[in-house]
Structure 1
Amino acid sequence: MTGTKAGQPAGEAKPRRRQARGERRIQQLLDAAANVFCRTGYASASTNAIAREAGVSPGTLYQFFPNKEAIAVELGERLTHQMREAHGVLFTPEYASLPLGEMLDAVVDPMVEFNCQNPVFLTLIHSGDAPGIMTEDHDALHVALQARLEELIGLIQPELSAERRTRTATMVFSLFKAGLELVLSHEGEEQAAYIEELKASLHGYLAPIIGTQAPSRTP
Structure 2
Amino acid sequence: MAAAAMDDPTASRRVPRQERAARTVEALLDAAGEAFAERGFESATMTQIAQQAGVSIGAAYQYFPNKDALAFALRKRYGDEIDARWSTLVESGESSGEQLPLAELVERLFDMMVELMADCPAYLPLLSVSLGFRRDAAARNRLRERFSALFQRYDAALAPDEAYRIAEVMLQIVKSLNPLYAAARPKERRLLVAEYKGVLSAWLAARLG
Q: Which residue of 2 aligns with 1:102?
A: 104
Q: Which residue of 1 aligns with 2:167?
A: 169
Q: Distance in 1 between matches of 2:165 and 2:186?
A: 33
Q: Which residue of 1 aligns with 2:56?
A: 60
Give RMSD over aligned pairs. 3.4
Residues 98-139 of structure 1 deviation map (CA, whole Å, 9 limit, x = unaligned): 2221121233211331133224345546533x3x6x5244x5
Q: Which residue of 2 aligns with 1:92?
A: 91
Q: Which residue of 2 aligns with 1:40?
A: 40
Q: AA paired with 1:164?
A: E
**How many residues of Structure 1 are paired with residues of Structure 2 in the alignment?**
184
Q: Give the deviation of 1:70 after TM superposition.
A: 4.4
Within 5 A, what are the aligned runs for 1:64-75?
A: 64-66=60-62, 67-68=65-66, 69-75=68-74
- 2:88 aligns to what SS in structure 1? coil
Structure 2: runs of 5+ lacking an equivalent: 1-18
TM-score by length of 2: 0.68
Does the alignment pair 1:50 with 2:32?
no
Q: Distance in 2 between matches of 1:182 and 1:125?
A: 12
Q: Give the deviation of 1:73 after TM superposition.
A: 4.9
- 1:158 aligns to what SS in structure 2? coil
Residues 135-185 of structure 1 deviation map (CA, whole Å, 9 limit, x = unaligned): 244x54332211111111111111122332222222211211112332333
Report sequence identity in percent. Answer: 25
Displaced runs of 4+ in structure 1, greater than 4 A? 25-28, 122-126
* Structure 1 residues 126 and 147: CA distance shift in structure 2, 3 A: farther
Q: Distance in 2 between matches of 1:83 and 1:71?
A: 19
Structure whose CA Rg is larger: 1
* Structure 1 residues 203 and 55: CA distance shift in structure 2, 3 A: closer
Residues 37-75 of structure 1 deviation map (CA, whole Å, 9 limit, x = unaligned): 344336x754235346x286xx81322333224433543
Contact 2:173 2:200 in 1 (8 A): yes
Q: AA paired with 2:134?
A: T
TM-score by length of 1: 0.66
* Structure 1 residues 153 and 93: CA distance shift in structure 2, 3 A: farther
Q: AA paired with 1:198?
A: Y
